[in-house]
Amino acid sequence: MRVEQTPAGLVVEVGSQAETARLGRAIAAAVGPGTVIGLVGTLGAGKTALARSIAGGLGVDPEAVLSPTFVLIHEYEGELPVYHFDAYRLGGPEPFEAIGAAEYWDAGGVCLVEWSDLVAETLPPGAWRVSIEPTGPESRRFTVSAPEPVTSRLAAALGGPGATGV
């Protein structure tokens, strides 16, 4: 795993699904009630795999976390509730708003929004963004854009250089 803080956010390069899971658990340790995380990446990039790891880090059975493509919103009970959205099939911000997504922002849980780039203007201020770029069969480059000190704490948790605090 390679971790680097850049102006775009925290860049984490992983070489395996186990390292993706480690990143997900580190993100889970950094979230709080009301955290909204937009997941962006191509089809098959690993959005659901990362969501599964974040939810697992919050006490949700990772095997229960499925892609919300056909249901649009899955709700999971854990240490914090996890609300898992998929904006892909909705066709834009208006249908996303129509399903009541904004009602979840302040519901006391963690919101994970796959394909969030399609509905970015509907996400609340302060929403995190995780961009995922496949770099090989299991390797990925994640760019985490979140408010400070979140990215510094994530870097420290992942053993990144120049990280401050935990």
What is the pLDDT, as a whole number, of residue 84?
95
2-141: CATH number: 3.40.50.300
Question: Widest CA span of the chain, in angstroms?
Answer: 43
Mean pLDDT per 10-residue run, the chain (166 residues)? Answer: 94 96 97 97 95 97 80 91 92 91 96 96 96 97 95 89 42
| pLDDT value of residue 164 | 38
pLDDT at 69: 65
Q: DSSP 3-state assignment of 165?
A: coil
Please give the C-alpha separations between residue 32 and each of 17, 19, 35, 69, 91, in angstroms, as whole numbers: 25, 22, 6, 25, 29
For residue 122, give the amino acid letter: T
The tokens for 98 are 């129509």
Residue spans per domain, the chain:
2-141
pTM above 0.85, yes or no: yes
| Cα→Cα distances 139→130, 132, 133, 156, Å | 15, 10, 9, 21
pLDDT for the residue 124: 97
